[in-house]
Structure 1
Amino acid sequence: MMLKLLHYFPFIGLVVAENGLQAWLRYAPLPQGHNARLPSSIIALNSSTNSPVNTAGQELQKGIQGIFGNRLSISSIGKAPSSAVIGTVAQFQEAFGSSPVHNQLEEDGFWLSVNGSTVQILGQNERGALYGAFEYLSMLAQGNFSNVEYATNPAAPVRWINSWDNMDGSITRGFGGNSIFFADGHVVSNLTRAAEYARLLSSIRVNAVVVNDVNANFTTINPENIQGVGRIADVFRPYGVQLGLSLDFASPMELGNLSTYDPLDPGVIAFWGDITQQIYARIPDFAGYLVKADSEGTPGPLVYNRTLADGANLFANVIKPFGGIVMYRAFVYNQLPDEGDWKADRANAAVDFFHPLDGQFDDNVIIQIKYGPIDFQVREPASPLFANLLETNTAIELQVAQEYLGQQCHLVYLPPLWRTILDFDLRVQNQSSFVRDVITGERFKRPLGGSAAVVNVGLNDTWLGSHLAMSNLYAYGRLAWDWTSDSEMILQDWTRLTFGLDKTVIDTITQMSMASWPAYENYSGNLGEQTLNDILYTHFGPNPQTLDNTVWGQWTRADHASIGMDRTVSNGTGFSGQYPPEVAEMFEDIETTPDNLLLWFHHVNYTQMLKSGKTVIQHFYDAHYEGAETANNFVAMWQSLKGKIDDERFEDVLFRQVFQAGHAIVWRDSILNFYHNISGIPDGAGRVGHHPFRIEAESMELSGYQRYVVSPFEAASNAIAIVTLTNSTTGTATTVLNFTSGVYDLAVNYFDLYGGNSSYQVLLNQKMIGQWVGNIVDIGKLGHTPSIYLDGHSATRITFPQVPIKKGDTLKIVGQANGVEPAPLDYVVLLPAGVID
């Protein structure tokens, strides 16, 4: 009999299928028994088409009809009792003569009063009123019919999104399809998805989007494209979302035909003044500029021996009359460090460049600082730059895009990671100085501050390529409004809005998501060693060798006896000294450095004893096995929700959890094989290198297949895989099974390369038990950065559950090459019930 493979097992659900396009704004009908006293009508105090208050009225109408089936009328005048009245405080006063709200609201803040069927939603401005409408609808959608009365204000004025969309329609680190903004060098004609995106962002109180990549293309600001991005701003405006643009610092030469882009050159200043006037003529509510300069090969002021402040203030001066701001990225490291110099450290760059300039930036400049000193790693210390700019506006840069954290193919709920940074006390001047209070401007009394999140939404119906990854976008908006919000409570709100009110669904998704970042850290890189994935081109799968012996400065300095960066002042790069004294003292001493950052700050032997009582190397072994086991448990946890979630979303998430379970084992084995090999220290539990249930493909009887040495070696079990003799032939791998008779899960580890769709069959005693095509990358089933090599990015697994096996059975795998993909196989594993490979 032919068994259905776990990748594509069809499940019959009890709920109508959904594709995820509505995300958390589904306005799904509530289960029976949920009754609320609803307003009898809606009074929206501005009926102008582009008004966020008008949008709020329409949203209330749509939401209440979707949740309760009641279609309420909308007017711009009327009586307040038994109505939902929405508008600004000023509009309410004009309409009704007085206001219940006085001085409680700051910019974008709102006041919400629900007293049975009487609802009042008042914003400090129209955007705030729309936020209040979404807040009320969120309550209703979650079955919360409480009477409430409260005012709420944002933690900071800047709550931005950074898109990395390119003019050709691609997205840098885009895992959810092509751009919703651009194609073929122009703004797309149909901006429906852009409007839908603005709606989602407004519901989580994001107030601006930079629509193009930080590695900007100068053509974005040519006259035609200024008109084009103006059309994007037009569809954003009814939702209170402003538009911003990334700039190419060299545009005066590339677009303006000047011979220089020196920020102090009068011609350059005039060029940018003219561009800014053109933009504001088309987009009067333009938010501002985002600038990446002097980093990763991009041009900038350092080319002309000007300071970074000179570069930032160039844009600040020309945009200030219009009320715009400049977000200037602190990610500056064109001067690549020398690995041979043990004092060299890329982590030092931000403070080295920006601290001497503190106080020299204009008041409408914000320095945008990545949360850690390197680059969105699975764990880093808080960037010390937050403690070194006391007279400069700052914002934190987070990343929803999961560039180094599984690329939305692995479930990783990010707020617990973000909170390790935001809740860190920098102890500036021996006073409480939480990062969250620095970026809001509260700690150093700065006028501007906030956050920017790198978000890679695309044309995929799920926006990010993954239903569960959307929790990170939702949580970013919620946290940016209030950085003290509880990560788990945010997650549960998102789950109710996205998947409904079933307690089992809420509890299961909560348990999976809250365990996901610790699991990923465990099976990728731990003890502060960084993520250990390939930093050269994909940033996806494991490849610890790429961190060392490169110019990128993400070194681990691992050798046969020791590992870790010595960042102490006493003997290392001096990085710890960039923190205020109390924090610097903690990180300087190995005894007071937390274990989870040990290898970030100290170079130690593999036998160094941790506070847990384990050695560094044994911690590696144990943590990687624990992390992979957790990821494998996610599959059964998700399967338990069959019938409680609609088929389409259930199957899509199941596919990803099965992939993650297999790839977590790839990660585990790659990292542990590498460090076991380099250190020569055995695993105390005897697991590393010992896989009693595996059959190596190269040990099978081969016909049409040949052995292939995989590089990096650790990406394949036993460092060897098999490939077909040519890229157009069929190969077979056969073996007689010497396993105790029983029922097993039969899994095959193979490599899914981009540019080919090999086909495979698995036969037991010449009877087919399953088949598949290696096409998960080519068909967009998974959106991670693909690979054309046999490596840790392309390594994956397929499982055929519950296969009856008898000792002496003959197992055969038939592989048909296609394109560049030579039907590569790594190993077969037969797992008894409850056993994880």
Structure 2
Amino acid sequence: MFLSTWGLLVLSLGVVAENGLNGWLRYAPLSDELRQHASSLPSVIVALNETETSPVYMAGKELQAGLKGVLGHTLGLTHDFSASTNSTSVILVGTLAASNAAVKHNVSSLSADGFWLNVNGSQVTILGQNERGALYGAFEYLSRIAQGDFADVDVMSSPSAPIRWVNEWDNLDGTIERGYGGPSIFFGNGAVVQDLTRAAQYARLLASIGINGIVVNNVNANATLLNPDNMDGLARIADAMRPYGVQVGISLNFASPQTLGGLATFDSLEPSVISWWTDKTAQLYRRIPDFAGYLVKANSEGQPGPLTYNRTLADGANLFARAVLPHGGIVMFRAFVYNNHLDPADWKADRANAAVDFFRHLDGSFLENVIVQIKYGPIDFQVREPPSPLFAHLPHTKTAIELQISQEYLGQQSHLVYIAPLWKTILDFDLRLDSKPSLVHSLLSGYAGVVNVGTDPRWLGSHMAMANLYAFGQLAWDPARDSQLLLQAWTRLTFSLDPTVLNTITSIAMASWPAYENYTGNLGLQTLTDILYTHYGPNPASQDNNGWGQWTRADSTSIGMDRTVSNGTGFAGQYPPEVAAQFEASSTTPDDLLLWFHHVPYTHKLHGTGKTVIQHIYDAHYAGAQTAQDFVSTWSALRDSNASGTNIDAERFDDILFQLTYQAGHALVWRDAIAGFYHNLSKIPDEHGRVGHHPHRIEAETMSLTGYVPISVSPASTASNSTAIIVADGAIRGEAVAVLDGVESGVYDIVIGYFDVAGGRAHYGAFINDEPLLEWIGDLEDRLGHAFSTKLDGHSATRVTVKGVEVKKGDVLKVIGIADGGERAPLDYVAVLPLGVVD
């Protein structure tokens, strides 16, 4: 079975269109000029294992396919070490134990999964501490060659942590929680899918960045995954991924002994429960001898757990740890435990306190094969958070950091956000344990990345989002790596070695996180999205006055969470003394975390710029939105300046242009919604007179309407002038007409703001003097992967633009909408913009 799967992978390198399926493993042909440097290419590959499910065997096949793709040479492949011992033109790949070549080099410092890569002319030696390490070394060599690097090297590389896993949030029905790249590649209709080709392809990508484990199902787990048929299916997934050294694990539903097993209890200290889990675990290991272990979410967001029976969280973790221990498995126990029914009227209540409150007294009580998995920040994958202080409270417990590659709060892959620089702020943060250097990454035993790939050929629903998966694996291997250099390596492998392409993607991607932070939520306010609905578009009012605890405490005079010890929730005091002292005072708290730790008047001045808080909010949102506009022009210039030499195929170029254009429009929705909300709340004007001022817009409800009727929008700040129009009930077609008698004759960009909601595919047409300008369909749900809304709100608000339209004073502008299903062809405004003006 696996040989046929791998054959498809090799074939895809040559014949599949550039749709993103191969990610950074395209092995695109190098230029003739670069190929000249490959004159000393070895003549044969020796892979020291002929078992087809072996990672060493796969390393040989990968080397053969990769070199053929990059250099056009097909090297012979053998598994006979003795036949090659006298050769000076060979790529030798295998384990240290399998090769006496190891004695020629001091490799004793390699840890598990580590490798030695030695390139000396036409002699290439790739030896792993284990079989996975050999495969990782092969991918490292191919990465260098694919980037045109033929230099001799002598590298010994070991991972920073033994646990480097991805967590998929796939459900048995094929849906994916917080998944933006299509349905599951693992599950459908309550079972494991039959065709696991994509699972093998995914394992290949993961192995190439050093990932050694995967949890294939949602942390909000379905107990029926432990049915015999589904355990058989899990074994098939493991078979597909095993040749790439990726071990399979699963998430558990804590109450399974009761809901699936029919026991009266799921108490972690009850003998019948212990026996049930011991038996289920043995059944899994009989099917999957290298089963990785369990991931457990317990007593969080309504999930069952040990606290249900007044047991400790350590009791719950150790229940599973004892079950997997005889088999060599581990338990990843999530520290994401908190009360989601907090009282917002309680000034001292703080969700951020939860992880430390629940876990610090348990340090040292977890078994050796338990790793406490801690989200990087105290809340939930926000655009800016301080590191979780729990990393400082578990010196006698193994911990892993949980990072989210899937952009739940960061634009859901419909917005470009390169997240590695954000992760670096956490990994490189000095917690100052015992007043000594204590970088977060130095305290870790593992890394867990929430990925949520789907059946979309782009895996994550966006070509550019794959940079985050690539960077996660590279940082898990070595957290000291530079995020920009990682981005550039990914760019060369994914797109082109062309310097213009490299510089363009570098400039856009490195600006993307600061821009997104600026136009969503800054100063530590978190991502001001709708936390009660899709977690996508803007809705700052949703943050407060609910039990979820992601509060901003914004009122008419002041804003921010008071997390000080002296007057607030005490969260700042959860850090070691030096860090706690820094965060306790607003004067020493960094501006970008000011409102995370302090409740201040809108007129409070930032010590970095001297601006007031409210003016910074206005300025940042306008600056961030402008940067998003610049992404479009910067990307478009690739085609304009180097049409035949960009080395980016039209399919991917246009797809990225479409997404960047959408992002630019939605960034303006964010800008206007957030700036407008705080303007209305504080009543403090913008010094530059921008907020709420749109001189070039014609509000849809003020146009001459036929078949259209006005409708209020909620949140009000997500629509221009709080109001939109929709085709009336009982009607199919609507017209909105405006006479442009206030516009001087000239060339303009025509912008139409509308709402693209789930539940229909409305048709639109725009006309000047009955001459067609543009036709389009409200079909973004078919073209983008983010969570869509059925309402007129910040999630569905968007716009289209027609550039360079010649307009005469008095022309008649008409927009026609044809409703479809639940989408009533909603319109918000029309803007007639002078060239170069961003409305």
Give TM-score scaled by structure 1 length.
Answer: 0.96
**How much has 1:744 moved relative to structure 2?**
1.2
1:46 paired to 2:42: no
Q: Choose from 62, 82, 86 the match for 2:89.
A: 82
**Could you tell me which residue of structure 2 aligns to residue 345 of structure 1?**
350
**Cα deviations across residues 4-42 of structure 1 (Å, max 9, x unaligned)?**
xxxxxxxxxxx9951110110000100120121211000
**Could you tell me which residue of structure 2 aligns to residue 56 of structure 1?**
59
**Could you tell me which residue of structure 2 aligns to residue 283 of structure 1?**
288
How many residues are aligned here?
810
Q: Structure 2: which amino acid aligns with 1:633?
A: D
Q: Choose from 307, 317, 321 the match for 2:322.
A: 317
Distance 2:650 2:47 in 1: 38
Distance 1:293 1:831 in 2: 53
1:762 paired to 2:769: no
**How much has 1:104 moved relative to structure 2?**
2.4
Distance 1:230 1:743 in 2: 63
Residue 92 to residue 99, structure 1, CA distance change in 2 (3 Å): farther
**How much has 1:336 moved relative to structure 2?**
2.3
Spell out the pairing of 1:645-724 with structure 2 (5 A cutoff): 645-724=648-727
Looking at both structures, which has the greater relative contact order when contacts are Cα pairs under 8 Å and sequence separation is at least 6? 1
Q: Structure 2: which amino acid aligns with 1:748?
A: I
Spell out the pairing of 1:102-251 with structure 2 (5 A cutoff): 102-251=107-256
Any conservation in 1 of the 2:705–2:736 contact (CA below 8 Å)? yes
**Cα deviations across residues 257-312 of structure 1 (Å, max 9, x unaligned)?**
10000000000000000011011111111111000000011000000000000000
Distance 1:334 1:195 in 2: 39
Distance 1:380 1:603 in 2: 16
Distance 1:793 1:57 in 2: 48
**Could you tell me which residue of structure 1 aligns to residue 387 of structure 2?**
382
**Cα deviations across residues 587-618 of structure 1 (Å, max 9, x unaligned)?**
00010011000000000100001011100000
Distance 1:317 1:298 in 2: 22
SS where residue 448 of structure 2 aligns?
Answer: strand
**Could you tell me which residue of structure 2 aligns to residue 12 of structure 1?**
none
Distance 1:401 1:103 in 2: 38
**Could you tell me which residue of structure 1 aligns to residue 460 of structure 2?**
464
Distance 2:114 2:450 in 1: 24
**Could you tell me which residue of structure 1 aligns to residue 593 of structure 2?**
597
Q: Choose from 404, 419, 444 the match for 2:424.
A: 419
**Cα deviations across residues 374-410 of structure 1 (Å, max 9, x unaligned)?**
0000000100000111111100000000000000000
**Could you tell me which residue of structure 2 aligns to residue 27 of structure 1?**
27
Distance 1:669 1:52 in 2: 53
Q: Between 332-341 and 668-677, report the one with greater CA deviation.
A: 332-341
**Cα deviations across residues 747-776 of structure 1 (Å, max 9, x unaligned)?**
111000101111111010111111101011
Any conservation in 2 of the 1:89–1:101 contact (CA below 8 Å)? no
**Could you tell me which residue of structure 2 aligns to residue 307 of structure 1?**
312
**Cα deviations across residues 624-675 of structure 1 (Å, max 9, x unaligned)?**
0000000011001111122321110011111100000000000000001100
Q: Between 297-306 and 736-745, report the one with greater CA deviation.
A: 736-745
Q: Structure 2: which amino acid aligns with 1:23?
A: G
1:560 paired to 2:556: yes
Distance 2:749 2:502 in 1: 29
**How much has 1:499 moved relative to structure 2?**
0.4
Q: Could you say what the CA RMSD is over the residues aligned between the two structures, in angstroms?
A: 1.1
**Could you tell me which residue of structure 2 aligns to residue 578 of structure 1?**
574
**Cα deviations across residues 44-85 of structure 1 (Å, max 9, x unaligned)?**
000101100000000000001111111111111122420000
Q: Choose from 562, 583, 588 the match for 1:587.
A: 583
**How much has 1:699 moved relative to structure 2?**
1.2
1:505 paired to 2:501: yes
**Could you tell me which residue of structure 2 aligns to residue 3 of structure 1?**
none
1:92 paired to 2:99: yes
**Cα deviations across residues 783-823 of structure 1 (Å, max 9, x unaligned)?**
00010000000001111111111111110001111100111
Q: Structure 2: which amino acid aligns with 1:598?
A: L
Distance 1:728 1:184 in 2: 38
Q: Structure 2: which amino acid aligns with 1:371?
A: Y
Any conservation in 2 of the 1:101–1:111 contact (CA below 8 Å)? no
Q: Choose from 618, 621, 625 the match for 1:621.
A: 618
Q: Structure 1: which amino acid aligns with 2:248?
A: L
**Cα deviations across residues 564-609 of structure 1 (Å, max 9, x unaligned)?**
0000000000000100110000000010011000000000100001
Distance 1:636 1:653 in 2: 12
**Could you tell me which residue of structure 1 aligns to residue 4 of structure 2?**
none
Distance 2:238 2:638 in 1: 41
Give TM-score scaled by structure 2 length.
Answer: 0.96
SS where residue 53 of structure 1 aligns?
Answer: helix
SS where residue 772 of structure 1 aligns?
Answer: strand
SS where residue 71 of structure 1 aligns?
Answer: coil
**How much has 1:743 moved relative to structure 2?**
1.1
Spell out the pairing of 1:531-550 with structure 2 (5 A cutoff): 531-550=527-546
1:640 paired to 2:637: yes
Q: Between 547-556 and 16-25, report the one with greater CA deviation.
A: 16-25
SS where residue 425 of structure 1 aligns?
Answer: coil
Q: Choose from 733, 750, 753 the match for 2:736.
A: 733
Distance 1:674 1:701 in 2: 29
Residue 505 to residue 335, structure 1, CA distance change in 2 (3 Å): closer
Any conservation in 2 of the 1:728–1:816 contact (CA below 8 Å)? no
**Cα deviations across residues 469-502 of structure 1 (Å, max 9, x unaligned)?**
0000000000000000000000000000000111
1:809 paired to 2:811: yes
**How much has 1:226 moved relative to structure 2?**
0.7
Q: Structure 2: which amino acid aligns with 1:89?
A: L
Distance 1:39 1:21 in 2: 29
Distance 1:801 1:144 in 2: 43
Any conservation in 2 of the 1:727–1:817 contact (CA below 8 Å)? no
1:790 paired to 2:777: no
**How much has 1:727 moved relative to structure 2?**
6.2
Distance 1:85 1:688 in 2: 65
Distance 1:646 1:693 in 2: 37
1:743 paired to 2:753: no
Any conservation in 2 of the 1:378–1:404 contact (CA below 8 Å)? yes
Any conservation in 2 of the 1:425–1:435 contact (CA below 8 Å)? yes
Distance 1:623 1:741 in 2: 34
Q: Between 688-697 and 202-211, report the one with greater CA deviation.
A: 688-697
Distance 2:17 2:497 in 1: 17
**How much has 1:102 moved relative to structure 2?**
3.3
Any conservation in 1 of the 2:174–2:187 contact (CA below 8 Å)? yes
Any conservation in 2 of the 1:50–1:238 contact (CA below 8 Å)? yes
1:530 paired to 2:530: no
What is the identity percentage for the equivalent residue pairs of Structure 1 and Structure 2? 63
**Could you tell me which residue of structure 1 aligns to residue 401 of structure 2?**
396
Any conservation in 2 of the 1:727–1:818 contact (CA below 8 Å)? no
**Cα deviations across residues 219-257 of structure 1 (Å, max 9, x unaligned)?**
111111111000000011100100010000000001111
Q: Choose from 65, 70, 76 the match for 1:67.
A: 70
**How much has 1:100 moved relative to structure 2?**
2.6
**Could you tell me which residue of structure 1 aligns to residue 7 of structure 2?**
none
Any conservation in 2 of the 1:728–1:819 contact (CA below 8 Å)? no
Q: Structure 1: which amino acid aligns with 2:817?
A: G
SS where residue 609 of structure 1 aligns?
Answer: coil
Q: Structure 2: which amino acid aligns with 1:251?
A: S
Q: Structure 2: which amino acid aligns with 1:69?
A: G
